[in-house]
């Protein structure tokens, strides 16, 4: 979906302002023209547009004057007769997209305007030029790291939470219907019961994980610069960790009502704090350490390192995710055996 921007252009007749508007990327920004500033602002209040770009009457005049007197221009004196932006900052993603496109449009517009006015277009060139990316890309709809950051994190969370929730649902149902008691009476030990649940559920969920993984690769075109087998193995291990964690919760709680309340709280906190929505490095220092103790945080980073950076298993950032996952699998497995026996 495009970001809608209402434009109120007071320049009459439009000269350089029209060149600027045409420089805006229309594949990302949807320009809506208004003849009145109040109506344009009202469209933002009604959520019909993200912001209002108000182009002042003296837009071209002040720019041309600035070009002619560039040697005398004081950077602290910015005229107010160019453009003003009124925006809705409630959605940071739209804000970043819109401001990035408007900034890029002004760079392109400056070169076109200077050429049209017979000036050297290199005057306003940005001194930093982007070289070839070492990792990742800004192309193909990856403005917010959708393919290299969010989707890999979501895959980890999906593999963990689905197995976690389905295990709780199945085991609590068996407890409620006294199926576990009949199994115990038939001589089935808690260890055998747990292993049976793990093997049967892992068999069917592995098929789902494989399908989801390749849909993400071929459907959403996420980059796979590393080993797909290694990445899929980490997903399956996260599935096992979710299964064992679900066994612990189902062993502790008597019915589905309590299990639903607790599991929803755990999964919501895990989704927010495990580095899926934003980088762990951007979190407050005290909260960062709490995040690192979660079973999905470090594996999420490892999964990104495999897919986006193509790092091998021998790299610490990769094998640390496997070690953390295996550690939690053993902790949850042994805990579930203990609680089922007591």
| Per-residue pLDDT band at 146 (split at 50, 70, 90) | low
pLDDT bracket for residue 112 (50, 70, 90): confident
For range 171-193, the mean pLDDT: 79
Q: Which residues contact 201 (CB under 8 A, 6 or more apart)?
A: 163, 166, 167, 170, 243
What phi-psi label fits residue 160: left (phi over 0), alpha (psi between -120 and 50 degrees) or beta? alpha
Residue 330 has pLDDT above 90, yes or no: yes
Pick the closest to residue 105 from 187, 24, 192, 186 (CA basis).
24
In angstroms, the CA 297 to CA 280 distance is 8
- Report residue 144's pLDDT band, with 50, 70 and 90 as the boundaries: low
Coil, helix or strand at residue 160: helix
Note whether 150 and 252 are within 8 A (CB). no
Instruction: Supply the pLDDT for residue 70.
Output: 59
Average pLDDT value for residue range 219-243: 90
Residue 75 scores a pLDDT above 70: no
Strands 51-55 and 29-34: unpaired
Peptide bond into 240 cis (omega under 30): no
Residue 135 pLDDT > 80, yes or no? no
CB 85 within 8 A of CB 43: no
> What pLDDT shows up at residue 266?
85
Summarize the confidence of residues 254-283 as an average pLDDT: 82
Confidence of residue 91 (pLDDT cuts 50, 70, 90): confident
- Residue 192: how many CB atoms within 10 A of its CB? 11
Report the b/e string of 119-128 with b at 16+ CB within 10 A: beeeebeeee
Q: How far is CA 61 from the centre of its chain?
A: 43
Please give the residue that has the higher pLDDT: either 137 or 298.
298
C-alpha to C-alpha distance for 199 and 26, rounded to whole angstroms: 52
Q: What is the pLDDT of residue 136?
A: 59
> Which of the four pLDDT bands, split at 50, 70 and 90, describes residue 127?
low
Give the SS3 label for residue 277. Answer: coil
pLDDT digits (tens, 9 = 90+) for 8-20: 999 888 888 888 9
- What's the mean pLDDT in 281-302? 86
DSSP E strands, 199-332:
none
Set out the domains of the chain in order of their start, with CATH numbers. 3-124 (3.40.1710.10), 146-341 (no CATH)
- How far, CA to CA in Å, does 309 sit from each of 37, 104, 233? 47, 28, 17
Residue 170: which H helix or E strand, with range? helix 151-176
| Res. 319: pLDDT tops 90 | yes
Average the pLDDT over 204-217 and give the result: 88
Q: Which helix (H) or strand (E) holds 192?
A: helix 190-218
pLDDT of residue 126: 63
Q: Which of 51-65, 120-134, 237-251 has the lowest mean pLDDT?
A: 120-134
Q: What pLDDT is recorded for position 131?
A: 62
pLDDT of 339 reads 87
- Give 223's DSSP letter: -
Going by C-alpha positions, the residue among 250, 265, 229 that lies closest to residue 339 is 250
Mean pLDDT estimate for the chain: 83
For the chain, report the end-to-end CA distance as a whole number of angstroms. Answer: 54
Q: What is the pLDDT of residue 318?
A: 92
Sheet holding 83-87, edge to edge: 29-34, 3-9, 51-55, 83-87
Query: Residue 142: is its pLDDT beyond 60?
Result: no
Residue 315 has a CB neighbour count (10 Å cut-off) of 15
Between 29 and 112, the more confident residue is 29
**% of the chain surpassing 70 pLDDT:** 86
Residue scoring higher pLDDT (79 or 155): 155
pLDDT of residue 225: 85
Residues in the chain: 342
């Amino acid at each position: 979906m495009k970001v809608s921007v209402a434009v109120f252009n007071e320049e009459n007749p439009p000269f350089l302002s029209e060149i600027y508007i045409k420089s805006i990327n229309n594949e990302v920004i949807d320009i809506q023209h208004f003849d009145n500033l109040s109506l344009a602002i009202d469209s933002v209040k009604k959520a019909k547009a993200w912001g209002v770009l108000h182009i002042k009457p003296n837009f071209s005049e002040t720019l041309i004057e600035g070009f002619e007197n560039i040697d005398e221009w004081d950077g602290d004196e910015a005229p107010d007769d160019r453009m003003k932006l009124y925006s809705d900052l409630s959605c940071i993603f739209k804000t970043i997209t819109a401001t990035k496109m408007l900034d890029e449009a002004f760079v392109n517009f400056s070169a076109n305007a200077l050429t049209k006015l017979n000036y050297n277009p290199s005057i306003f060139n940005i001194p930093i030029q982007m070289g070839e990316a070492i990792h990742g890309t800004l192309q193909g709809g990856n403005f917010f790291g959708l393919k290299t950051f969010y989707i890999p994190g979501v895959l980890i969370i999906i593999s963990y939470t689905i197995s976690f929730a389905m295990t709780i649902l199945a085991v609590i149902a068996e407890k409620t219907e006294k199926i576990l008691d009949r199994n115990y009476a038939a001589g089935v030990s808690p260890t055998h019961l747990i292993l049976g649940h793990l093997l049967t559920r892992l068999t069917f969920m592995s098929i789902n994980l494989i399908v989801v993984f390749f849909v993400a690769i071929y459907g959403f075109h996420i980059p796979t610069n590393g080993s797909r087998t290694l990445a899929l193995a980490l997903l399956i291990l996260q599935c096992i960790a979710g299964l064992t964690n679900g066994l612990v919760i189902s062993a502790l709680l008597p019915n589905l009502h309590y299990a639903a309340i607790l599991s929803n709280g755990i999964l919501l906190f895990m989704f927010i704090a495990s580095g899926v929505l934003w980088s762990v490095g951007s979190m407050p220092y005290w909260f960062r350490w709490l995040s690192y103790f979660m079973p999905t945080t470090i594996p999420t980073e490892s999964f990104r390192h495999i897919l986006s950076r193509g790092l091998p298993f021998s790299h610490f950032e990769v094998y640390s995710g496997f070690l953390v996952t295996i550690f939690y699998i053993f902790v949850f497995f042994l805990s579930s055996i203990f609680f089922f026996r007591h």
